[in-house]
Amino acid sequence: MNGKRSFGGGGRGKTSAQGAQQGKDGQRRPMFRRRKVCKFCADKIDDINYKDTKLLMPFVPERAKILPRRISGTCAMHQRKLRTAIMRARQLALIPYTAE
Amino acid sequence: MKRKYELVYVVSPDATDAQVTDLHTQVEQIAQRLGGTIEKTDNWGRRRLAYEIGPHKEGTYVLETIDGGGELMKEIDRRLKVSDLVIRHLIVRIDEEQSVVERTRTKRTEGSRRRRVARGLPPDRQPGEGQRGDTEDDDRFDVTEVER
């Protein structure tokens, strides 16, 4: 069986017979996407606090919009907590609402 | 009903230190009058605001942790709204969230301890243990090719 690669393989995996020979010598998987993991789950951060701007800033990139889940990979529960934290921090002018 | 609140207020940068402490004593007095206590005060000092609020670009941040009821916080909220010196304030109830955070934390450490003991290891992580080294190439997702 060769066509067993279901992820990451992209084009190569489907060219089966020839592709299988090339094995592990680098430059395979041209569009391998890293699986995104929730930062808060991975680092075991329970408390997403509005005072902790250092933690929140990576989730409000330059336009100062909240980074969506599909990009950051945050899980639903933590995205919810993140959202309230960011909104509170914005009220206190710790984080901008918009970029000028 | 004892609850725990967190109050942050931003004082205008024109205010003197005396005025800031005066504000703090005012809050304390209201708390005392309505049967609450201030647990902790933290002055973050002068910080740049993320955006301009009226004419201000900076502000002095003060954080207070208050034990007390809802009526007390209502009164403090009203007072701070009226005050000219305070340009922003925020009151958040924290006791519930804190207990949830504590619960998840103890649950996690207990769980990991139990599992470690079940595996015949000491309950706490030893220094230098379990570090897999920074191997960039994680081969868990590489399917081995089967020669035919």
Query: How far, in Å, are A6, A14, A34, B60 from residue B144 at the CA level?
Result: 13, 15, 19, 60
Among chain A residues, the shortest Cα distance to B47 is held by A94
B8 and A7 in contact by Cβ < 8 A? no
pTM of the entire predicted model: 0.73
Domains of chain B (ranges; CATH) run 3-97 (3.30.70.60)
Locate the domains of chain A by residue range: 1-33, 39-91
Average pLDDT over residues B34-55: 91
CATH class of the A39-91 domain in this structure: few secondary structures
Which residues are B67's β-sheet partners?
A: B4, B37
pLDDT for the residue numbered B145: 53
List all residues of chain B from 55 to 94 with a beta carbon under 8 Å from chain A.
Answer: 59, 61, 63, 88, 90, 92
- Model pLDDT for residues B47-56, shown as the tens digit of each residue: 999 999 989 9
- Model pLDDT for residues B1-32, shown as the tens digit of each residue: 689 999 999 999 988 889 999 999 999 999 99
Confidence of residue A83 (pLDDT cuts 50, 70, 90): very high
Which residue among A20, A51, A96 sits closest to B51, beta carbon to beta carbon?
A96
Contact of B50 with chain A, judged by CB distance below 8 Å, is answered with yes
- Model pLDDT for residues A9-48, shown as the tens digit of each residue: 444 433 444 444 444 555 666 777 777 788 898 888 888 9
pLDDT for the residue numbered A28: 61
Residue closest to B65 by CA, chosen among B30, B105, B32, B95: B95
Contact of B146 with chain A, judged by CB distance below 8 Å, is answered with yes
Q: ipTM value of the model?
A: 0.76
